[in-house]
Structure 1
Amino acid sequence: MSSEGTFGGAIIETIKTIVYALLIAGVFRTVFFQPFWIPSGSMKDTLLIGDFLFVNKMAYGYSYASCPSIRIQRLGIDIDAKDICGWMRDDNSRIMGGEPERGDVVVFRHPVTGSDYIKRLIGLPGDRIQMKDGVLQINGEPVQLEDGGTFAEVMAPQGPERNLPRCENGPVGQGGTCEKPRSYETLPNGVRHAVLNIGDFRTDNTPVFTVPPGQYFFMGDNRDNSTDSRVAQTAGGVGFVDYEDLIGRADRIMFSSAGRSMLFFWTWRSDRYFKAIE
């Protein structure tokens, strides 16, 4: 056999290996787990900007939202999940569907923009949800709250987007300590988690939201810094989220970086590796 033939065969085998690897990775991401990088502070202090986790897609079964969206701006590639799996859309059902539980931290597609969001599931179908003076009310009863001290962080740009944190003790100069009161909230099913407060905002007092059948109500743990179901989709919020828009449940942080890039090893948060999400 000529050297040209051997070389050509090696190239073909390499290409086949790459294609097989991409197919396996695509199936793994579509069926089992989806990587998710926390871009904003709406879930502090449960999740910090720069936390990296895998979303468990098996938790609630599969819908069109389980298919990956492929967006590479530099190459002009913008393939949405509905472009791949749109045939599964609009009947608000799931294959091998499982019911989410109150208190789950869930990644879902925004009902209008299609962007991926991560929030805590607060309201199930039929629930009545309201905020009164910053206290969550579920079906007419306030949730149990305990003082959790103060959440403190450095006033500095965070993550790739270089956003500054919002503070209860503001204004705070660069390098200063940004503080927010923290409480521990216990939901009716016993799920206990931290919530942060910055001040008095419009979303601290809301009308009663009655969650429709087949839909869910989500809120961020950083209550005054979260775009969630408390604001209607028509007003730029999330509103109610359909069952078919759920992607999966976030169970554990795998890795965390406090810097602009995960390659900046000196910014890694070693205390958050494999940390369970509560």
Structure 2
Amino acid sequence: MASEAKKKSGFLETVKTIVYALLIAGIFRSLFFQPFWIPSGSMKETLLIGDFLFVNKMAYGYSYASCPSIRIASLGINIDAKNICSVFDGDNARLWGSEPERGDVVVFRHPVTGLDFIKRVIGLPGDRIQMRRGVLHINGEPVELEDAGVFEEVYGPQGPQGSRPRCENGPVGTGGLCVKSRQIETLPNGRSHPILNIAMQGTDNTGVYTVPEGHYFFMGDNRDNSTDSRVPQAARGVGFVPFENLIGRADRIMFSSAGRSMFSFWTWRGDRFFKGVE
């Protein structure tokens, strides 16, 4: 009997330890840093498919979006952040809020689907944003652009989704060299970052977007392969993103996997450990 009681007590202690660990991890994830694995190529070359980073949730304060969504498709679990923290939803405000700077790379909740996206802040409240022949214009002025050669990668399936890159020199066969034009774009506040271009398309020539108060305009660095604020929500794009939908700022890549899984350590990219996100 004593042995059975001891086993039962040991089992309960193990369960309690696991529960406490999960609670601590949940609190840490909700308040401080959220892990994020880059699933698409919309932010190349700043972020590559397979980059693993932690999002700084303290950068912009807290809102309902700071709560994690729990989605496990294999188990049929889909618990949205709004269901967990609905009390904080609806006023487009944040606790200890701090506004993002133009050029920040930010993870945010899609205003319609609720899925996590990562893009660069281009337009602040009140800004007028327009694309003219592939050149970004902010408040009527073109941004500074400097040609910077080409971005090269091997054409083939990338990441767990097996997506293939678009190429300026396409069509390219599997294993061939996929090339995109590369430029350095400098925003009005002096922040610079690389952008990639593939071909002239609809999102390279747009009307003027006037960013509403309390909202932000986001774009991907891989300009011709990014669904972002240039595409309205009615057309399954991002549109303008409310302040309360920001989750946090991407500051540093921890490691990067070029394979189908982030656990395939033999595919980790040696030049991206603890790499800062510019």
Q: Calculate the TM-score normalised by the size of structure 2.
A: 0.99
Give the match for residue 271 of structure 1: 271
Q: Give, in angstroms, the shift of residue 206 of structure 1.
A: 0.4
Structure 1 partner of 2:169: 169
Aligned counterparts, 1:123-162, within 5 A: 123-162=123-162
Residue type at the aligned position of 2:26: G
For residues 135-169 of structure 1, what are the alpha-carbon distances to aligned partners after superposition, in whole Å with 9 as ceiling and x for unaligned? Answer: 00001110000111100000010000000000000
Among all aligned residue pairs of Structure 1 and Structure 2, give the percentage whose two residues are the same amino acid: 74
Matches within 5 A, 1:181-220: 181-220=181-220
Tell me the secondary structure at the aligned position of residue 270 of structure 1.
coil
Q: Which residue of 1 aligns with 2:261?
A: 261
Amino acid of the residue matched to residue 197 of structure 2?
N
Superposition misfits of 4+ residues, deviation over 3 angstroms: none
> Could you tell me how far 1:51 is from its partner in structure 2?
0.3
User: How much has 1:199 moved relative to structure 2?
Assistant: 0.6
Name the CA distance, whole Å, in 2 between partners of 1:5 and 1:235. 62
Deviation, 1:266, is 2.2
- Tell me what 1:50 maps to: 50
Equivalenced residues, count: 278
Match of 1:60 in 2: 60
Shift of 1:106: 0.3
Distance in 1, matches of 2:119 and 2:262, equals: 23
Give the C-alpha shift of residue 90 in structure 1.
1.0
- How far apart are the structure 2 equivalents of 1:73 and 1:217? 30
- Deviating more after overlay: 260-269 vs 116-125: 260-269
Aligned position for 1:95: 95
Deviations 1:214-252 (A, max 9, x none): 000000000000000001000111000000000000000
- Report the counterpart of residue 246 of structure 1 in structure 2: 246
| Structure 1 vs Structure 2 CA RMSD | 0.7
* Other structure's SS at 2:148 match: strand
Deviation at 1:75, TM superposition (A): 1.5
**Structure 1 runs not aligned, ≥5 long:** none
Letter in 2 for 1:149: G
Q: Give the letter for the 1:81 counterpart.
A: A
Partner of 1:117: 117
How far residue 19 of structure 1 moved from its aligned partner, in angstroms, is: 0.5
Secondary structure of 2:20's aligned partner:
helix
Matches within 5 A, 1:18-29: 18-29=18-29
| Deviation (angstroms), 1:265 | 2.2
Q: Deviations over 1:70-96 (max 9, x none)?
A: 011122211100000011111000001
Q: Distance in 1 between matches of 2:59 and 2:82?
A: 20
Aligned-pair CA distance for 1:263: 2.3
2:230 equivalent to 1:230: yes
The 3-state SS of whatever aligns with 1:229 is coil
Question: Partner amino acid for 2:15?
Answer: I
Deviation at 1:5, TM superposition (A): 1.1
C-alpha deviation, 1:119, in angstroms: 0.2
Amino acid of the structure 1 residue aligned with 2:32: F
TM-score by length of 1: 0.99
